Amino acid sequence: MFMHIQIKDVSFSYNSIQALDYVNFIANKGEILGLIGPNGSGKTTLLRCINRVLKPKIGAILINGEDISSFERKEIAMKIGVVPQYSKTFPFTVLDTILMGRFPHLNQLGGETVDDLKAVKYAMELTGTLPLAERLIDELSGGELQKVILARALAQTPEVLLLDEPTTHLDINHQLEILNLIKNITKAKGLITILVSHNLNLAARYCDKLLLLNSGKVYSIGSVSEIMTPQKIREVFHVDVEITYHESTQSYNIILLSPTL
């Protein structure tokens, strides 16, 4: 079976506020699906439902046909790795922090096995964090910390990788570095990657498909060229844009013109 995750008729509300309204889509192995949309459109809520931090009021989330509502919390952590928008830092070393990603794999007696240490080393090699192993994470730069949090998620050896605005607060150099890293790992490891981004240009450059949310509903889903149109951006974000294609980056560039009245 081709590895995939299916979001089927998922709805969620915070008391009387409808955050998600019958959301449907499929994300596939080896692809980055970008979630875009205005503030309050349901992007982070959707990630939390996929990770079962929140329980949908209606609908189901299936990984390779299996409903995750039947999974134990430990099983969820073995299948889904998360890079949150904000990460609290404590005075742990980088190595200890990344080792935390192996928690769902540990046996009842505790203690890391050779396989756990191999998985951690591999995650650190992928993210370039091996030289940081003995550093304290509360002493790292924003870019270094984000790579450590990504390495911790990868140490879980997940099938699905969820990222909530992974480039927030990073300078442009580190934004490109992190997103290049995510794209390369997604392809090399065959992950199902779902990425929330407010930066339309970065989403257009690094995502294989885009899902445009508006008021908790799927406004449109498809290829970057299908979603990044002046009409759709205007209707959802209420701003006029000019969109060009750059051969050098092989991606679309969205130029903001003016808000619509």
Q: Is the pLDDT of residue 108 over 70?
A: no
For 122-166, write each residue's pLDDT tens digit: 999 999 999 999 999 989 998 999 999 999 999 999 999 999 999
Range of the domain at 159: 4-226
Q: What is the rounded CA–CA span in Å between residue 186 and residue 64? A: 17
Give me the pLDDT at residue 261, please: 66
Give me the pLDDT at residue 85, please: 81
**Distance in Å from the first CA to the final CA of the chain:** 49
**For residue 10, what is the domain's CATH number?**
3.40.50.300
For 188-238, write each residue's pLDDT tens digit: 999 999 999 999 999 999 999 999 999 999 999 999 999 999 999 999 999
Q: Which residues contact residue 183 at a Cβ distance below 8 angstroms, ignoring those fewer than 6 apart?
A: 32, 206
Residue 260 lies in a domain: no
Per-residue pLDDT, averaged over 171-175, amounts to 92
Q: What is the rounded CA–CA span in Å between residue 64 and residue 256? A: 39
Residue 235 lies in a domain: no
Residue 254 lies in a domain: no
Residue 73 lies in a domain: yes
Give me the pLDDT at residue 111, please: 75
For 77-107, write each residue's pLDDT tens digit: 999 999 998 766 678 999 999 999 998 888 7
Instruction: Between 169 and 12, name the one with better pLDDT.
Output: 12
For 21-65, write each residue's pLDDT tens digit: 999 999 999 999 999 999 999 999 999 999 999 999 999 999 999
Q: pLDDT-derived band of residue 1, with 50, 70 and 90 as boundaries? A: low
Q: What is the rounded CA–CA span in Å between residue 153 and residue 146? A: 11
For 154-167, write each residue's pLDDT tens digit: 999 999 999 999 99
Q: pLDDT-derived band of residue 185, with 50, 70 and 90 as boundaries? A: very high
Q: pLDDT-derived band of residue 113, with 50, 70 and 90 as boundaries? A: confident
Residue 255 lies in a domain: no
- Secondary structure of the chain in HEC code, one letter for each residue: CCCEEEEEEEEEEECCEEEEEEEEEEEECCEEEEEECCCCCCHHHHHHHHCCCCCCCEEEEEECCEEHHHCCHHHHHHHEEEECCCCCCCCCEHHHHHHHHHHHHCCCCCCCCHHHHHHHHHHHHHHCCHHHCCCEHHHCCHHHHHHHHHHHHHHCCCCEEEEECCCCCCCHHHHHHHHHHHHHHHHHHCCEEEEECCCHHHHHHHCCEEEEEECCEEEEEEEHHHHCCHHHHHHHHCEEEEEEEECCCCEEEEEEEEECC
Residue 258 lies in a domain: no
**What does the mean pLDDT of the chain come to?**
93
Residue 91 lies in a domain: yes
Give me the pLDDT at residue 110, please: 63
pTM for the predicted model, two decimal places: 0.94
Give me the pLDDT at residue 260, please: 86
Tell me how many domains the chain contains. Answer: 1
Q: Is the pLDDT of residue 109 over 70?
A: no
Q: pLDDT-derived band of residue 169, with 50, 70 and 90 as boundaries? A: confident
Residue 98 lies in a domain: yes
CA dihedral 212, 158, 22, 43 (to 10 degrees): -40
